[in-house]
Structure 1
């Protein structure tokens, strides 16, 4: 079955076209964002498919995203990720090879790599500066066609998450969920509910009409997956933030909820791949690749 696709059209001058492609196995939303004038496009948070039962990988979702871009007459000029995902493997390296576009992520991925090299006992294995062409920091900007893309450091879910701002569109990854589902967890190594609160409040300073595109949705109460809501809608309807919610109230609710959550079933596989831009571990003597999973550390 093909993944759900929805188009959020440009709202006018300086506003991008956005396509969201839902990956049902992980509840992830993959994005194409494009300059309507030049047809240059970036891919954001595209999934490398992974079956945790067999440890088999494929690029069917990434291929669908690229096929959609081709169908729309778009030229892919950037391959972007917002953070090293814990719940899916990224397709960054594959997409770079297929499109010849540079790939990028936030510069604090280097700190995340140091953290996880200890968990995996894999010193000198993760070198993001070698696997990504650009490591963006707070305040950086770059061009997508004639549109300017601005980068915000948005920690909380991870210590190195970044948000991409493109006109009236903001790709806010694992910060907000859809308003009826609140916000994202902050209990992974390097995460912080205090930093997530600051990130959420900063995003809500954007103009009310700004379209916020989130990283995940799980179809709460059986509804169709949703991933786009405006700043105004989040201010009014987000179940964790609407009304006069204080930081202490938010953090208590977030931390108590996070304490009940299990690790994502792909997490220990995903981090050792995503810290290498989606490349699997190097082949061993028999020509096969092997994941390394720490026992009894979590």
Structure 2
């Protein structure tokens, strides 16, 4: 049975969430869910994630997995909210433990919270691990570089790559977050490019460069031929040099601090306040 993919675009954060399922009345997964969040007021909403729930209910789908491609720095995950509402296990790459250690110390989050089973992830995927939902099987590829926990989910000829690579006209992920590394990103994208050329790549963000229409699906062949940062003949040294130079010019994502605090706890919100580290200029 062929995987069916439905994309949902969260305009405020330029994020794509995906529901993948085997058949109506069957089983589904959600990849990279989003909570609505206003930075100026601190208010959190569920309108977008309720749209995911409505789709699941309309198609009578059982939600087996709520998956993250990594701990995002630009939007708040709705994973815990979805689990409370419709069930499913929350999964992420095993590298999340490194991200939790770094940001847990920064935000003074007790390490015990990450292993309590109450606030954390239900499953940490190993590289090359296989999982199933309904009649479909997923294969997990560790693809670090943007972050140490980044993974790609390969399902029936579809690769859900998170932030590792974008549409060909926007390029590749930044590597200047803790645990990021341009050399690792090159290797990870090379691993994605080794998938069959017809493999469909589904990206986690589309920033619509030049004001073009929304696009979120390409192929391995198209990316290898046309990605503006990394094509099949780009050398590793050239990519590292380009990526490091570019990253020095990038601003910090505006939702970095609230996003990370929520996302390293699988979408759990703080009781009262978000913390913002203070540094001297």
Q: TM-score, normalised by structure 1?
A: 0.89
Contact 1:38/1:146 (8 A) holds in 2: no
Structure 1 unaligned spans of 5+? 1-12, 283-288
Check the 8 A contact 1:157/1:184 in 2, yes or no. Answer: yes
**Partners of 1:126 and 1:275 within 8 A in 2:** no
Alignment-derived partner of residue 87 in structure 1: 74
SS in 2 for 1:152: strand
Distance 2:89 2:109 in 1: 27
Query: Match for 2:209 among 205, 214, 220?
Result: 220
Report the alpha carbon displacement of residue 76 of structure 1 after superposing the two structures with TM: 1.6
Q: Deviations over 1:73-111 (max 9, x none)?
A: 322221111111100010111111111211111122111
Residue 64 of structure 1 corresponds to: 51
- Please state if 1:266 is matched with 2:249: no
The match for 2:21 is: 34
The more displaced of 71-80 and 211-220 is 71-80
**Stretches of 4+ moved more than 3 A in 1?**
none
CA RMSD in angstroms comes to 1.6
Q: What runs of 5+ residues in structure 2 fail to find an aligned partner? A: none
Alignment match of 1:99 (pick from 86, 93, 97): 86
User: What residue in structure 1 maps to residue 194 of structure 2?
Assistant: 205
Summarize the alignment of residues 19-30 of structure 1 with structure 2, pairs less than 5 Å apart: 19-30=6-17
Partners in 1 of 2:62 and 2:244 — Cα distance? 42
* 2:163 aligned with 1:180: no
Deviation at 1:261, TM superposition (A): 0.6
Q: What residue is the counterpart of 1:116 in the other structure?
A: 103
How much does 1:162 deviate?
1.1
Cα 1:126–1:185, aligned 2, differ >3 Å: closer, same or farther?
farther
- TM value normalised by structure 2: 0.95
The 1-side partners of 2:276 and 2:46 are apart by 23
State how 1:151-166 maps to structure 2 within 5 Å.
Answer: 151-166=140-155
In structure 1, what is the Cα distance between the partners aligned to 2:58 and 2:41?
Answer: 33
- Contact in 2 for aligned 1:182/1:240 (Cα 8 Å): yes
Asked if 1:132 is matched to 2:121, the reply is: yes
Task: Figure out how many residues of one structure are paired with residues of the other and give that number.
Answer: 279
For the residue of structure 2 that corresponds to 1:76, the secondary structure is strand
Whether 1:253 aligns to 2:242 is yes
